[in-house]
Amino acid sequence: MNLTGMLHGARLLDFVGFPAAEVLGPGASEDQIRQMIERHGSVFVKPVFKGGVGKKGKSGLIGRASDLKHALAEKERLYFVEHRHGNQVAKANGVTFEAAVPAEHEIYFSLSVSTHFRAPTMTLTHKGGMDIEEVDEAHIARIPFDALTGLKAFVVANALTDIGAPPEIISPLVQQLPKLWELYHDFGMTALELNPIRMRPDRRGKLTPVACDFKCGFDRDDARWHRLNLPDHLFTADTSDFEQEINQLRTHQGQSDVYVINERGTILAPTFGGGANSLVTEMLGDDAIISSDFGGNPPYEKMKSVAAICFKHWLAQSNVLFVIGGKSNNTDIFETFRAMADALREHFSKHGPSPLFVVIGRGGPNLVRGMGVFRDTCEALGLPYRIFGFDSAMSEVIDYARRINDWMKAGGRDEIAARLGAAPALAA
Amino acid sequence: MHKQGYGDFKYFVGISSLAQIATREDRVCVLNILGGESSEVTPVGHAWSGGNVVFGTSPGRSGQTLDTPAGPIPVYNSVREGLDDGHRFNCGVVYLPPGAARDGVAELIRVNPELTKIFIITEKISVHDAREIRAMAQQAGVDVFGANCLGVADSWNQVRIGGALGGDNPGDTLKRGSIAILSNSGGFTTTIAQYLRMAGWGTTTLVSSGKDVYIHYAAPEFAFALANDSRSKAAVLYAEPGGYYELDADFTKPVVACVVGRWKAKLTRAVGHAGAMAGGDDDAEAKERWFMEKFGVEGLYTPDNPVFSARGAVVTNIAHIPAALTAVMRANATLPDFEPEGSMDLKPWFGSNMGVALPEAIDLPVVDAIEPYRGQIRGLDRQLGTVFPRQSLKDASGASQMDPKTQVSSLHGVSMLQAAQKPLEANLGLALLREPAGANDQALIDVAIAAHVNLHGSAMLVAAEAAREAGNAPNAVLAAAVGIVGPRLLAPAQRFANGLVDALAAAGVRDATDEAFAVERIELGTDLTTDMLGDAPDPLATAMIRGVEARRARSLPLRWLLAQGGYPRADAVLAAIATTIGWGPLGRKRISRLSIQTLPSWLRLMATMLGASVAASAHEADTFCGIGRDTLIAECTLTEIAATALLGRRASADDLFAFRTLTGLLLTNGPGAISAQGAKGAVSADGPETPARVQLNKALLGFLSHTGFAHGGNGFEGVAFLLEQFADAELADPADPAHGLDLPAMAQRFATAYRAEKQRSKETGAPLRNIPCVNHPVFKDKPVNTDPRERFVREQLAARGQYNVFHDFYLALVQALHDEGVTRNVFCVNVDALIATLLLKLTWKSLRAGEIGTAELENAAFTAFLYGRMIGCAAEIDDHMNRGRNMDTRTPQSQVRFVA
């Protein structure tokens, strides 16, 4: 849940009265662009990506133009540009025109959580305008502060003094930067980064910090960001229909976190517990369709809905339904297994049989009753199965699911399909 | 801004040794103790820890208690109230919802100066609240564990605080030993302890740290406390990507670190653990490297390449932890704490290839589970049918539900629209067997009902007739009859059914209609068999047996009964029929043993109610409604019998279709319907947790007393309205499309008159009468509105070429009301109109012929409702008996109000 760029950033900064560079959105008219260039000498043209994508500048994705013709040419180049950074691939949809702010000083400022200090921490340098990793540590202040009192002016003043910041920038930053705490704290952010903040001189030479780029991350467990009334589509970039459907069931009782690993995978693995999720996803690799954590003792109705959605989207292509978790502490195995088994039964009733091998590994309260329900369901549906207790190493069970998957790919699926009278198609 | 604690930390740490984390001296207060998770977990932990919870809070529930094996834990509205009552504690456990957790922490800290530790179980606490929680605790000098954790446990002290480490039987996992555990995963804390135990290692202190962005008790302070804990010789750490906690930890004792989550580098957002997102150089590989440097090793430990030092080893698979630990400890000249208790090899507890040939390498044979699971599995194999978990069923049902969007109710997953297409006998099966009855089962149901519908010479009939003569409505008439069919009358058939179930199970019967199964293999005790037979032929039993034969229905239990020689009693035949019907659903775990056992009673009760709805004059020694007993039992379906009972004549095929549509739609309206509430309340009051004490007939009285002219008789309002509209119409046959009536003109006349009436009522303030059966709170606001249930039935009838002039009139009426400006859009014709129009069509001829009057018609409308709903309510009663708790429909005092 990240947001980058000044298109929305400027509006957010305006909430707390922090000066920001003038910005025009994708719908700006030629007149507006021309007038902006006239006022500021030049404009930056930046592609608009959903979510957070970094290193745009380094990838040549920031254009600068000092006349309308060039500005429009940059608009054409960047409007639908594709950007790859790490594992993320993003496609732009629009550009912004941002007023150039001539300045001698560029500041880097961020607020985030430091696990080192275990407190909210400000990172500040007067050598900004570049990646923070490239700045000499001697010029960087990382200062934790009290969450209850927030970022205070003296914290900023001391930090700037400690890193030897030029005296003329200290006062304006001390006045303006603490405002950003309100934005960070009151609107559910986990991180806020302004880089650069340019120190714009007025006619008398007095400096004003002007934010020229904006990045922030929102905490999806914090409803405060809803106060900003940001359009929903900003955060839908990296969620599939399936994930969105599951996410609608997100409540505090019972996890319902999913991530699509491989849309063409063949093992559907509803997983219980954050630890199991890590191990399972790591070991299954691309065989897994989804990475999930459905632990936290979900009630029957929720578990059944989650399972039904999983089955609706993925069962047809699955070779193995792999239900896996460690020895649960409080997740009721009977309730969760009954819910999944009922969802499976109903899915078969509605969509007809699907060739499937069921592998289960689990421990926890009401274990045998839960396993019994799944066994009965498999028997009723004609599905082969193996159910392991917690005395089989989880990694061995995961490996077994993989071996079953290999066998299914090598003809097992067709055999089961023939017995069920189902079409073997769809799976890899 | 923090108190000075132990060690050289940048923050407060109040624990110097792991031995102090969970002690027998700790006293605990649990916030939201009666919440779903806490109420399950706290009693187990409390009992295992020698009763360490002094009280809990739950606003508005002061005075209640949480029952535990170690005695009840008192509940107060707030922490202050508990302290004022003399309780003292040093540990707070937070089970509050995420939005309330921070305030709970503030309450604990501000109100109780003796507080030293807080354990936060709550998941999904915002980072905003987490940092404020930390700041408050740091200022007050309080250690926080979590959040999003499962608390802590100590195998030496036999104490667990907050959360559920060790599950529902902590002693099974937490065995005293020498290894401490710190885990980002609550589930893995227990799983790792289990793995260690199998390899001969016990545990000291187990800390589930959680994996939120803020981990309040993390690796650095754990390492510090480990060093000072003389009991702990080594530790196991389970760590996931994200955060620099482990980098800052300084270990002085051997450690096996398990780092999992390399793949998470691919993720763009967290799945599961909110904090398990690497920001930069804190991903899984970085963490593996940190630990390798700490331990002075060059690679990961795997069974094939065991890399370790005396300081530790790094693994990426929790299954490798025990072997790595044993290797590291051997390098420290230390042997396991006890003999290994098992292996971690693959051991399927259940399995089947379902006829598919698997390659040998993956064709793992099922093995015996470890105890106590082996015993439980054996018990499961012996168990017949399903066992539903008990829960409060106030305003809830496992039988029926209503889809709030479509307003279509369903019974056991079958919508009323589907049920309306099935005969009553199939729907009775649906209600009691949780799946519609198939052809063979329907035939057996028909026999059972037909055999018991004639109440000639019975006390039930006398009571019903007396009630009818006293002017009672149909529900009270049925109640008078059914009230007599008490447990003693129902007991013999239930006992026989019970015995048959045991015998069929012992004989390994899979299909109770199997014609080839040798009846000699079925063995019942001599006493029971003797009781099932009489000294002389029982005419009712004989008629039932003939009926089954005539319908060519199959029943293995009946075949067995007939093979015993002698004269079967009617109750024995009824039990044989019931066990045949119930055996399939029982085997498929659709129903419980309790349900199959009570099935004969249900068949009898349904038949009694049906019989009692007909005047005594229609019950004669050998005929019912003029149909001879043998014909009735051998030929008539339940639908035909009920239609005859309602109409007083044999119904045509079209009438039967209309009748089953009508009753099918009426089966249920979800657990919120008054009738269902009455039935459920009656079960709840008897105490379903002791099912033998639930009186089925009394539960039906609950249903019947919760119906009435408003709920059940409202179809008649529509009938009365239609009678008014058609009073002067020359209508011979409502099924004839060539009726010659100008329906739009009739509708227009009414709409014009109604508009004038509306105008007058506006001027005078007098109440305006409602037009029954139009409009609906959900299906409104479109230019033209339709109730999908009405449309469905209309289309069904049209497909059969069946016409209904009254239905057609209603459609014309809603259009006319709009055209006349009475309604702002075209209202829907709602589902009640179906009841009215179908019923009036069925009775129109008798009415016009003067055979019945409007009073009879009103009774008929009500009775039709009772026919459908008694089946739906039987399902509710059976479901509540199977799943509900004693007195669970009671409304708490806090939710009731006094009205002056």
Contact criterion met (CB below 8 Å) for A246 and A303: no
* CA separation for the pair B82, B76 (Å, rounded): 6
Specify the residue for token string 């002056």: B900
Copy the structure tokens of residue B731.
Answer: 């209508």
CB B321 within 8 A of CB B196: yes
Residue A428 lies in a domain: no
Q: Residue A426 has what pLDDT?
A: 45
Would an 8 Å CB–CB cutoff place A415 in contact with chain B? yes
Q: Are A87 and A198 in a shared domain?
A: no
Contact between residue A294 and residue A340 where contact means Cβ atoms under 8 Å apart: no
For residues A218 and A184, state if they share a domain. yes
Domain termination residue (choose one: A100, A128, A153)? A100
Lowest mean pLDDT among A23-27, B387-391, B397-401: B387-391
pLDDT at A356 over 90: yes
Q: According to the model, what pLDDT value does residue A379 have?
A: 83
**Residue A156, both tokens:** 């900023």
Do A14 and A28 have their domain in common? no
Give the percent of chain A with pLDDT over 70: 92
pLDDT one-digit tens code per residue, B509-560: 989 999 999 999 999 988 999 999 999 999 999 999 999 999 999 999 999 9
> For residues B291 and B300, what is the distance between their CA atoms, to the nearest angstrom?
10
Residue in A49, A118, A189, A396 to test binding to B, most B beta-carbons within 10 Å? A118
Sign of the C-alpha dihedral computed for residues B855, B860, B861 and B867 taken in this order = positive
A235 or B750: which leads in pLDDT? B750
Q: Which residues in chain B (194-213) have CB-CB distances under 8 A to chain A?
A: 194-195, 198, 211, 213
Cβ–Cβ of B185/A372 closer than 8 Å?
no
Kindly determine whether residue A384 and residue B354, on different chains, have CB atoms separated by under 8 Å.
yes
Question: Nearest-CA distance from A83 to chain B in Å?
Answer: 15
pLDDT tens string B91-119? 999 999 999 999 999 999 999 999 999 99
Among residues B562, B582, B581, which one has the least CA distance to residue B572?
Answer: B562
Q: Which of residues 317-346 of B touch A (CB under 8 A)?
A: 317-320, 342, 344-346
Of A252, A281, A392, the CB nearest to B344: A392
Q: Is the pLDDT of residue A65 over 80?
A: yes
Between CA B582 and CA B588 the distance in angstroms is 10
Q: List the one residue out of B235, B181, B178 whose CA is nearest residue B201.
A: B178
Domain count, chain A: 3
Structure tokens at B369: 């589970």
Asked if B187 lies within 8 A of A334 by C-beta distance, the reply is: no
Residue-level pLDDT at A164: 92
In a domain, A94, yes or no: yes
Q: Which of B663, B819, B848 is nearest to B754 (CA)?
A: B819
Domain residues for A383?
241-420
Same domain, A109 and A223: yes
- 396-435 of B, contacting A, C-beta below 8 A: 413
On the CB side of A182, CA atoms within 13 Å amount to 12
Interface of B with A in 33-62 (CB under 8 A): 36-37, 40-41
pLDDT at B504 over 50: yes
Q: Residue B273: what pLDDT? A: 55
Token pair belonging to B554: 């199959």
Indicate whether B274 pLDDT > 80. Answer: no
List all residues of chain B from 148 to 177 with a beta carbon under 8 Å from chain A.
Answer: 150, 163-168, 173
How far is the CA of B766 from the CAs of B96, B720, B763, B770, in angstroms?
53, 22, 8, 13
CB B254 within 8 A of CB B233: yes
CATH code, domain carrying A142: 3.30.470.20
Amino acid at B576: A
Mean pLDDT of the residues in chain B: 92
Please name the residue that has the structure tokens 């989880």.
A394
Binary contact (B271, A259; C-beta < 8 A): yes
Residue B748 reports pLDDT greater than 80: yes
The chain A residue lying nearest B376, using CA atoms, is: A368
Judge if A71 and A118 occupy the same domain: no
User: Which strand (E) or helix (H) includes residue B31?
Assistant: strand B28-31
What average pLDDT does this structure show over B574-591? 92
In a domain, A426, yes or no: no
State how beta strands A290-293 and A385-388 pair: unpaired
Chain B residues whose beta carbon lies within 8 Å of the beta carbon of residue A407: 358-359, 362
More confident residue, B602 or B390: B602
CB B173 within 8 A of CB B160: no
pLDDT at A291: 87
Question: Residue B825: which region, alpha, beta or left (left: phi > 0; alpha: psi -120 to 50)?
Answer: beta
A 10 A CB-CB count for B364 gives 17
- Are the C-beta atoms of B680 and B393 separated by less than 8 Å? yes
Tell me: do A5 and A26 sit in the same domain.
no
Please give the average per-residue pLDDT across B206-235, as a whole number.
95
**What confidence score (pLDDT) does residue B543 get?**
96
Q: Where are the beta strands (DSSP E) in A219-286?
A: 257-260, 267-268, 271-272
Indicate the pLDDT class of residue A427, thresholds 50, 70 and 90. very low
DSSP-derived secondary structure for B759-793: HHHHHH-PPPPPPTTB--SSS-SSSB---HHHHHH
With a cut of 70, say whether residue A251 has pLDDT above it.
no
Burial of B764 (0-12, 13-18, 19+ CB in 10 A): exposed
Q: What is the pLDDT of residue A428?
A: 39
Return the residue of A nearest to B343 by Cα: A391
Chain A residues with CB under 8 Å of B356 CB are 384, 412, 415-416, 419
Catalogue the E-assigned strands of A339-389.
357-363, 385-388
Q: What is the pLDDT of residue B140?
A: 95
* Residue A159 forms part of a structural domain: yes
State mean pLDDT over B383-395. 84
The answer to whether residue B185 neighbours chain A at the CB level (below 8 Å) is yes
Number of inter-chain CB pairs under 8 A, A vs B: 307
Do residues A330 and A400 both lie within one domain?
yes
| pLDDT beyond 80 at A349 | no
For chain B, the structural domain boundaries read 18-26+90-331, 383-404+413-421+656-900, 436-651
pLDDT, tens digit, 9 for 90 and up, residues B824-843: 999 999 888 888 898 899 88
Examine the pLDDT at B81 and tell me if it is beyond 70: yes
* B315-366 pLDDT tens trace: 998 889 999 999 999 999 999 999 998 888 899 999 999 888 999 999 999 9
CA distances from A291 to A262, A271, A342, B240 (A): 9, 8, 22, 15
For residue B472, pLDDT beyond 70: yes
Where residue A32 sits, what CATH number does that domain have?
Answer: 3.30.1490.20
A101 vs chain B: nearest CA distance in angstroms? Answer: 30
The pLDDT value recorded for residue B49 is 95
- How many angstroms away from the CA of A8 is the closest CA of chain B? 21
Helix (H, G, I), strand (E, B) or coil at B851: coil
Residue B193 has pLDDT above 80, yes or no: yes
- pLDDT at A371 exceeding the cut of 80: yes
Residues A274 and A359 in one domain: yes
For residues A177 and A300, membership in a common domain is answered with no
pLDDT at residue A344, as a whole number: 94
| Interface residue B131 vs chain A (CB under 8 A) | yes
Average pLDDT over residues B8-16: 93
pLDDT over threshold 70, residue A425: no
**Domain identity same for A121 and A109:** yes
In angstroms, the separation between the Cα of residue A229 and the nearest Cα of chain B is 19
Contacts 24+ apart (CB under 8 A), A137-146: A138/A163, A139/A163, A139/A164, A142/A114, A144/A114, A144/A117, A144/A119, A144/A120, A144/B10, A145/A119, A145/A120, A145/A121, A146/A119, A146/B1, A146/B135
Residue count (chain A): 428
Interface of A with B in 297-336 (CB under 8 A): 297, 299, 325-330, 332, 334-335
Same domain flag for A368 and A280: yes
With respect to residue A427, please indicate whether it lies within any of the assigned structural domains: no
Tell me the C-alpha distance between A121 and A117, whole Å: 8
pLDDT tens, position by position, A289-316: 998 888 878 888 889 989 999 999 999 9
User: For residues A276 and B571, which has the higher predicted lDDT (pLDDT)?
Assistant: B571
Tell me which residue of B665, B771, B700 sits closest to B424, measured CA to CA: B665
The answer on A80 and A2 residing in a single domain is no
**Out of B10, B188, B213, whose CB is closest to A113?**
B213
| A133, A278, A388 member nearest B240 (Cβ) | A278
Structure tokens at B631: 């014909």
**If residue A88 lies in a helix (H) or strand (E), which one and from where to where?**
strand A88-91
Residue A388 Cα, gap to closest chain B Cα (Å):
4
CATH classification of the domain holding A369? 3.40.50.261
Q: Do A329 and B150 touch (CB under 8 A)?
A: yes
- Among chain B residues, the shortest Cα distance to A294 is held by B272
Asked if A221's CB is within 8 angstroms of B126's CB, the reply is: yes
So what's the ipTM on this one? 0.83
Which of the listed residues A230, A262, A281 is the one where a domain comes to its end?
A: A230
Cβ under 8 Å to A: B residues 609-628 = none
CA distance A76 to chain B (A): 29
Q: Does A134 reach chain B within 8 Å, measured CB to CB?
A: no
Does the beta carbon of B276 lie under 8 angstroms from any beta carbon of chain A? Answer: yes
Mean pLDDT confidence for B744-766: 91
pLDDT in tens, B609-666: 999 999 999 999 999 999 999 999 999 999 999 999 998 888 889 889 989 998 998 9
What is the arithmetic mean of pLDDT over B155-167? 90
Residues of A in contact with B145 (CB under 8 A): none
Report CB contact under 8 Å: A147, B135: yes
pLDDT number for residue B823? 92
Say what the alpha-carbon torsion angle B742, B747, B752, B753 is, to the nearest 10 degrees: 100
Cβ separation B273–A273 shorter than 8 A: no
Which residues of chain B does A415 touch, with a Cβ-Cβ cutoff of 8 Å? 356-357
* A425 within some domain: no
**C-alpha closest to that of A249 among A171, A303, A327:** A303
Give chain A positions within 8 Å (CB) of B350: 371-372, 374-375, 385-387
Does domain B18-26+90-331 sit in CATH 3.90.700.10? no
| In the predicted structure, residue A10 carries a pLDDT above the cut 70 | yes
**Strand pairing category for A215-218 and A2-4:** antiparallel
B262/A146 Cβ within 8 A: no
- DSSP code per residue over B89-115: -SEEEE---HHHHHHHHHHHHHH-TT-
pLDDT at A211: 94
